[in-house]
Amino acid sequence: MRGWRGAVMAGLCVAALQAAWAQDRPQLSEEAAALATASRYLGDWRPRALDPSRWTPTFVVAADGSGTHRTLQAAIDALPAKGQGGSAAPARVYVLVKPGTYREPLCIQDKAPFTLYGRGDPAEVVIVEGRYNAQPKARGAAAHRCMPLLEAETFVTPGSASVMLFSDDVQLARLTIANDAMDRVRAGQGYPPGAGESGGAQAVALMTRGDRIQLEQVRLLGHQDTFYAERASDELASESRVFVHASEIRGDVDFIFGGATLVIDDSVIVSRAGRRSPGQGGIVLAPSTPDGVQRGFLVQHSRWMAEPGVAPGSVRLGRAWDRGVKAGEWRPSPSAPNGQAVIRDSELGAHLTAWAASTSRRPFAATGEAANRMAEYRNVASSSALPAAAFDAIAPDEGWASMNGGTEGGAKAKPDAIRVVRTRAELDAALALGDTPKLIAVAARIDLAADASGRRLGLEDFRDPAFDFDAFVRQYDPATWGRRAPEGPLEDARRRSAKRQAAQIVVRVPSNTTLVGIGPDAGFDNGSLMLEKVSQVILRNLNFSDAYDFFPAWDPNDNGHGEWNSEYDTVSLREATQVWIDHCSFDDGARPDPREPVALGQRMQRHDGLLDITRRSDFVTVSWNVFRRHDKTMLIGGGDGHRDDRGHLRVTLHHNLWEQVKERAPRVRYGRVHVANNLYVATPGGDYPYGYSIGAGFESSVLSEANAWEAAPGIAPERIARLLKGERLEDRGSRFNGAPVDLVGMLRAANPGRTVDGDAGWTPPYRLSIEAADAVAARVRAGAGTGRLW
């Protein structure tokens, strides 16, 4: 249900711009729009959804040596060449890239069909270089392996590309491809040699020159000339089709350009701030389609937005790239460049304005001999670069958070309580509004452990001078200290250290708040969001990662042998009501607990839960999220002794993806918890080998409906649920590796002599739409996590 304010503001923007659009932003007729579709642009090629979970890699790239190759280029070189294998169509080869940053110019040329992919968040695999157009090179030296440009004395625009993809039938999935050559330039200052506002700063992230190239969940990051989609041949009849889906492209000038047939669908296009001098605008599209080719660029169902700092009306939708034509010399002919583009069914931010004159200074005109072939159809203007969906309240029947009057967070925020934040200081200022309804749009990845200057604080910054870890371990060794809880000066110093860290990294969210990410990478690292004694909070489209505890507590009696216990969840609910957490992603980041040292005989624990819901929290819905790489993932109900949780902890979990998580997905005490249409991917080995999914704890009542488990060989269905002092778990229609599964029967068989009630004892008071379990995997993979709201 769209928040009233978002609907009104979007409507006002559309009305205000209608007159201007009629003048210099031509709109397609219904008849013309019927021809401007993805199927028309792509012809006989129909890209299919890409699902990395179903692929078996031929090669694995890992910088740490744990794969078949340490570099991407080495893996690409090992692929079969195009045409090998005779006349039969070659089987597709899969190249998995493990998380990491790979700084290398990558050349992919004339290879057999293959897929290059990561398995997690696209931000985990970064392929990057920092070359730019005007960067000097020696004559005779190669600019790029795919395009040597030996006679040039600079890299020029093509030679700057981080990745050149000159091959047909290639798929890229869950990757980031970046060019960081201009990342240090601020407000027109700090350009590298030869580059400046007037030229030389072109720096390509990805250049494609081939047919049937597909990008799925790929981030392309740069500034000027980020994505170069080029034609494979000068012949007008040749095909050079590229399909981009569920991806993100960032830049500031001509950052989507070239002569290929390019379809961008359901993606985010972000105009960047910061590099250019104040007053300098930007341009998004720059097609160079030959005049004799009907179809160039089509952008549909996408969100066009800007980083904070980009002025309203400062960015042009695009211009024709009259490649090779001097100013004033353009003449129509089939081979002349005359860029073609359609933008349709998309949400356009207030930073955008009309089309610009072509690069040969051909004025923009919709008619006449020198007409520009650029138009729009059925786009919607959004306010202040905020999507209308940012103002959403939870829809009726969307689980427990839709009951008791519903959850609207800060949807009714007044204009002065609508804030866009990129820094911790801006976040703190917005949260200081207290319980006033407020909408906080997060436009960056905010490091909660960083100080005001942006420097990340670490152990030595938080450590009390009296705390010495080695001395702590010697002091409280059970062999000498026994099983008493730690006490004394060293424990006091640890507590003071922990208090100092908590003061920095724990962010308290007040009531009547919507926190929403307005880019796929928005969110919080190295800290914890605390929702305590609050009501009406919405968290959407945010990444939460690595709530790392430098000073975990030692409990010598935990589990009978002692355990280290971390303090911080990435998100924690305590006495919080009417909370909706939707389309977020949670993980441990780059510091997994299994790689921590052993002390006092036990592996140190640095992370607690990803999302814990405790202490009388109530009316909570957790929907369409991704939980990855964690041990104790979600706790609902903090302890058997919390008797006042009775009658509370009503929580709905639906359409979430649980992948590489060990346990507690969720583990429940006391609550009435509805677990529906979730996808569980169970894998052995690695940092977080699978333990179990649903834990029925003390006085809990769990209703499981149409969940799906995809388990690796060796993981039996008996492991997916556990009795942990509980006795009620009802399941309806769940499946394990595609086959029906009897959760209750397995629990009874595993717990002889114990009562296992297959009736949850309650019926949801809402009508959540439940899909069949065999449809869950595709639905969840297509919709869960960040970057999927608009």
Catalytic residue positions?
Answer: 664
Helix (H, G, I), strand (E, B) or coil at 61: strand
End-to-end CA distance of the chain: 14
Residues 6+ apart with CB under 8 A from 188: 196, 197, 275, 276, 277, 278, 280
Instruction: Quote the tokens at residue 767.
Output: 């009508």
DSSP for 310-341, written as a single string? PPTT-EEEE----TTPPTT-----TTSB--EE
Q: In terms of residues, how long is the chain?
A: 790
Q: What phi-psi label fits residue 773: left (phi over 0), alpha (psi between -120 and 50 degrees) or beta? A: alpha
Sign of torsion, CA 326 328 332 338? positive
Beta bridge partners of 753: none
Residues 6+ apart with CB under 8 A from 726: 668, 669, 695, 696, 697, 698, 699, 700, 702
How many CB atoms are closer than 10 A to CB 709?
26
Whether 59 contacts 75, CB under 8 Å: yes
Beta strands in 413-512 (DSSP E): 418-421, 438-442, 445-447, 506-508
Question: Residues 363-373, buried b or exposed e (16+ Cβ, 10 A)?
Answer: ebeeeeebebb
DSSP for 111-131, written as a single string? B-SEEEE-SS-GGGEEEEE--
Instruction: Quote the tokens at residue 586.
Output: 């949670």
What secondary structure letter does DSSP report for 728?
B
| φ, ψ (nearest 5 deg) of residue 343 | -115, 125
Whether 228 contacts 257, CB under 8 Å: yes
Beta bridge partners of 623: 582, 654
Full strand arrangement of the beta sheet holding 528-532: 506-508, 528-532, 571-574, 611-614, 635-636, 667-668, 694-697, 721-724
How many CB atoms are closer than 10 A to CB 495?
15
Full strand arrangement of the beta sheet holding 708-711: 445-447, 523-525, 543-545, 585-587, 626-632, 657-663, 679-682, 708-711, 735-736, 739-740
How many CB atoms are closer than 10 A to CB 98?
18
Q: Using CA atoms, how far apart are residues 394 and 578, in angstroms rounded to an integer? A: 10
Helix then strand then coil, % of the chain, to nearest 5: 15, 35, 50
Among 390, 382, 639, 695, which Cα is nearest to 514's?
390
What secondary structure letter does DSSP report for 193?
T
Long-range CB pairs of 232-241, under 8 A, 24+ apart, other chains included: 232/166, 232/168, 232/260, 234/335, 236/290, 236/292, 236/293, 236/334, 236/335, 238/211, 239/43, 239/211, 240/208, 240/209, 240/210, 240/211, 241/41, 241/42, 241/43, 241/45, 241/211, 241/212, 241/213
